[in-house]
Structure 1
Amino acid sequence: MKISARNSLVGKILSIEEGSVNNEIVIELAAGVEITSVVTKKSCEQLGLVVGGNAYAIIKASNVMVAVD
């Protein structure tokens, strides 16, 4: 796979929570470090995503917001 995005993080799929249209995918990047993404059910099926499988979390954004109380 070649991609221009610089923030490509590989990990193991911990869970897939199926919704009526979208699925919530939780990927463990390192012990105790998780990232969650929402993708369409169709994309989930086409990518062959399964719990325990490996996947990349690819982050492409022009900015990242940070907030505190």
Structure 2
Amino acid sequence: MELSARNNLKGRIKDIKTNEINAEVLLDIGGQEMCSTITAGSVKRMNLKVGDEVSALVKASSVVIGK
């Protein structure tokens, strides 16, 4: 599969919080945390669990940098 997203970050699922519609998936990516909001259906369909190794694919038209 080819993707237009250039940023492919590998990490592990640290926590999953779901409701009827959405899920927050907290990832540990090299000691940094990233949170992704996906559908609860996707969590179930992909059988995502805490500890799973996953990839976070990021496609953004703008990235905010602070100093």
Q: Same fold (TM over 0.5)?
A: yes
Equivalent pairs, count: 67
Name the SS of the counterpart of 2:12 in structure 1.
strand
Consecutive unaligned residues in structure 1, runs of 5 or more: none
| 2:50 aligned with 1:51 | yes
| Deviant stretches of 4+, over 2 Å | 1-4, 65-68
CA deviations on 1:9-45 (whole Å, 9 max, x unpaired) are: 01000000112210100010012x0100010001111
Name the SS of the counterpart of 1:44 in structure 2.
helix
- Report if aligned partners of 2:4, 2:59 keep a CA contact under 8 Å in 1: no
Aligned-pair CA distance for 1:4: 2.7
Distance in 2, matches of 1:67 and 1:51, equals 30
What RMSD over aligned residues (CA atoms) do the two structures have, in Å?
A: 1.7
Alignment map for 1:1-69 (pairs within 5 Å): 2-31=2-31, 33-66=32-65
Provide TM-score, normalisation by structure 2.
0.85
Aligned-pair CA distance for 1:65: 3.1
Consecutive unaligned residues in structure 2, runs of 5 or more: none
